[in-house]
Amino acid sequence: MAARRRLYDPTGERYGVPIYPWRMAPDGLATRRQLRARGLRPGGQEIAAQVLWYSRRYWRKGTSPVRVAYLYRLDHAKPVRAMTPAKWAALAKANAAQQTCPECLRDAGYRIPTSLGMCTLCAYPEEQRAA
């Protein structure tokens, strides 16, 4: 129970930012993902609070087992900016570059694995001939 108490500081005395345990944050606060799901973004506002929790997954890896999620105020959030045609074009160009094989210059239809550096047809030609 002492661990739970360390993750609860609603006044922000310890670190200057209010801290809440998992699922105990008050209404009116949301993470970036929750804001995005509502079509909002933080809009330059400071972090209003943070949620801390212990994760067994990270405990085993030797890193800090405490995970953090920053919370932002919903009333200060701004709407997400719309994608411009230039941004759409840049995104399409980047995706096309990641799908084009540098060996055969064909569109693979999937992202080229960085471990291979080429499409699977060029990386494993003997397996393709056998099939």
| Pair 114, 125: CB distance under 8 Å | no
Percent of the chain with pLDDT over 70: 89
- Confidence category of residue 12, pLDDT binned at 50, 70, 90: confident
Residues in the chain: 131
- Confidence category of residue 130, pLDDT binned at 50, 70, 90: low
- Compute CA 5 distance to the chain's CA centroid, rounded to the nearest angstrom: 28
Dihedral sign for Cα 7, 12, 32, 99, please. Answer: negative
Q: What is the mean pLDDT of residues 18-41?
A: 94
What mean pLDDT, rounded, does the chain reach?
Answer: 89
